[in-house]
Amino acid sequence: MPRFATHLAPLLLTWAVAVSSTARAQETPTQRAAAVDVVRRQGELQQRINASALAARLAGAPNARRDAVVARAKALWDGELQAMADDITRNPEVGFKETRSVKILTDWLTAHGFAVQINVAGLSTAFIARYTKGTPGPTLGIIVEYDALRGTTRDYHGDQHSAQGPVGLAAAVAVAEFLTSSKTPGTVTVYGTPAEEMMPPPSKTVMHQAGVFNGADVIVRSHSSVNTQRPAPGFGTCCLNIDGVRYTFSGAPAHQMTAWEGRDALTAVIHLFQNVDALRKNMRPETRIQGIIPEGGKAPNVVPDRAVADFYIRYPDEVYLAQVREMIDNAARGAALATGTKVAIDNYGSMRDGISTAALNEVAFAYLKKYGATRVVAEPQKPQGYEETGSVSRDIPGAGFSAFTSTGGFHTYEMEADALNEVGHTGFRIDAMAMAALLTDFATDADFRARVKDEFSTTKALFGDYMSALRKAYPLPEVK
């Protein structure tokens, strides 16, 4: 290869990575077309940050101090935390009832020099654990979850939240010990966030609004995965923007032999589901609407005077989601009008886009690969904040670690089984090691921190322009 081409190759690679990331900058063609100027500026930002070169420098260079921290995290996992994860897996507790799991996690943290506060933000199974021996400096946050899924036959850890706590604890203690022994400025805080599977509203949003995450400079977390991947930079969430809406229909009771004397709330709920199905063809194809009937009456010989439909209404952005919500709300009002009942509409919670930061995601991904993660997906996936809630990742930069941990699908008994098998154990160990490496770099490398701050603040500033562009992309049809 000619010498000028040799010099040009790194620049071409940087340009190619930036273009690849920008092409996935948002989830749908409509978003990308509407916000083309924002996407262009995101691409320019990515070229300036050069996250791929940053990741290559940090993960590729020899670093004895980092390697010692990673070795300590691995030893903690192999020594006792893997067994802790297995124990929590075998004793699942659903959201806001995770008392046993929280005690196990917080007792271990207390024994390793953390000061623990339980019942934060008014949530009985939420906690904060702060390392007491650190010196002022960057605040390194680690989010851990521990709630199980609600199953029809039994509760179960089909999303492997049982391992998130032990993974985070391994990284937390390894990094905290390093900061103290090396007198490196920085502190470690572990945030215990309950009931992730009960949202919306997410407990993390409640905790964020109460100021629990104030002061954090970076936050990391782990999660189960069917492969090893990282998100593209931009705005998004793993599971679309969500409105959780409960439609409660009120009717009038009567004996079923004289049903005309009553008004059937269950029939209204059935009409609502039929109306929703009829509307789907008029909604953009990325729309997702799922509902259940948690209440439908008490006895077949009594006309139900109360029935409830519970819906998750989803779309990749919150602007078009508002249109979908109006359509579903009107479908509920129409069902009530048609059946002579009344409906109360309760938007009990929501999830919104977060910010995805390439300077963190690329370094996390590089370390996952360095420590042996398998089933690697080379291309960046859709943008998503490290928290599904959106709220936390809009205000504090962070990254998620998702090494391959299961051959089963999410929310399955197969994924729970893998939490107890080698595939899960290996992935969890890799997550802990990679997490410890990134946090060590963040505490010790000023350039890394500066790039994260630059990218995050610039992306956050672009978010308003993105929302304004989308509002022009979804005109309402004129009905004369």
pLDDT value for 474 = 93
Under 8 Å CB-to-CB from 402, ≥6 apart: which residues? Answer: 222, 223, 224, 225, 228, 229, 230, 368, 431
- One domain for residues 299 and 232: no
Q: Is residue 286 part of a domain?
A: yes
Q: Is residue 377 part of a domain?
A: yes
User: Model pTM?
Assistant: 0.89
Specify the number of domains making up the chain.
2
- One domain for residues 293 and 230: no
Cα dihedral sign, 212-214-215-219: positive
- One domain for residues 206 and 338: no
* Cα–chain center distance at 180: 31
The domain boundary residue, chosen from 351, 373, 393: 351
Distance CA 419, CA 417 (A): 5
Q: Is residue 18 part of a domain?
A: no
Residues 418/408, Cβ–Cβ less than 8 Å: yes
Under 8 Å CB-to-CB from 414, ≥6 apart: which residues? Answer: 406, 407, 408
Q: Is residue 15 part of a domain?
A: no
pLDDT in tens, the chain (480 residues): 333 333 333 333 333 344 444 445 578 889 989 889 998 999 999 999 999 999 999 999 999 999 999 999 999 999 999 999 999 999 999 999 999 999 999 999 999 999 999 999 999 999 999 998 988 999 999 999 999 999 989 999 999 999 999 999 999 999 999 999 999 999 999 999 999 988 777 899 999 999 999 999 999 999 999 999 999 999 999 889 999 999 999 999 999 999 999 999 999 999 999 999 999 999 999 999 999 999 999 999 999 999 999 999 999 999 999 999 999 999 999 999 999 999 999 999 899 999 999 999 999 999 999 999 999 999 999 899 998 778 899 999 999 999 999 999 999 999 999 999 999 999 999 999 999 999 999 999 999 999 999 999 999 999 999 999 999 999 988 999
pLDDT value for 244 = 94
- One domain for residues 218 and 303: no
- Cα angle, residue 415 at apex, residues 409 and 417 outer, rounded to 5°: 150
Whichever domain contains 268, its CATH number is: 3.30.70.360
Closest to 384 in 3D by CA, of 358, 350, 354: 354
Q: Given 3-state DSSP classes, what are the helix, strand and coil percentages for the chain, each rounded to the nearest 5? A: 50, 20, 30
- Full domain range(s) for residue 430: 60-237+352-464
Q: Give me the amino acid identity at 412.
A: T
Distance CA 154, CA 445 (A): 47
Q: Is residue 29 part of a domain?
A: no
Whichever domain contains 150, its CATH number is: 3.40.630.10
**Neighbour count for residue 275 (Cβ, 10 Å):** 18
- Cα angle, residue 44 at apex, residues 39 and 50 outer, rounded to 5°: 120
Distance CA 174, CA 436 (A): 7
Distance CA 171, CA 150 (A): 29
Compute φ and ψ for 374, nearest 5 degrees: -115, 180
Q: Is residue 11 part of a domain?
A: no
pLDDT value for 65 = 97
pLDDT value for 32 = 87
pLDDT value for 198 = 83
Compute φ and ψ for 35, nearest 5 degrees: -105, 40
Q: What's the token pair of residue 83?
A: 């067994």
What Rg value do the Cα atoms of the chain yield, rounded?
24
pLDDT value for 25 = 59
Closest to 60 in 3D by CA, of 362, 431, 358, 361: 362
294 preceded by a cis bond (ω within 30 of 0): no
- One domain for residues 321 and 365: no
Beta-strand (E) ranges in 71-223? 114-118, 127-131, 139-144, 187-192, 218-222
The domain boundary residue, chosen from 307, 325, 351: 351
- One domain for residues 334 and 369: no
pLDDT value for 319 = 95
- One domain for residues 309 and 398: no
Residues 74/433, Cβ–Cβ less than 8 Å: yes
- One domain for residues 219 and 85: yes
pLDDT value for 171 = 98
Residues 21/232, Cβ–Cβ less than 8 Å: yes
- One domain for residues 271 and 361: no
- One domain for residues 311 and 233: no
- One domain for residues 345 and 363: no
The domain boundary residue, chosen from 351, 372, 390: 351
Q: What's the token pair of residue 386?
A: 């490290």
What does DSSP assign to residue 135? B
Q: Give me the amino acid identity at 240.
A: L
- One domain for residues 387 and 451: yes
Q: Is residue 197 part of a domain?
A: yes
- On the CB side of 305, how many CA atoms lie within 13 Å of its CA? 8
Q: Is 60 left (phi over 0), alpha (psi -120 to 50) or beta?
A: alpha
Q: Is residue 480 part of a domain?
A: no
pLDDT value for 12 = 32
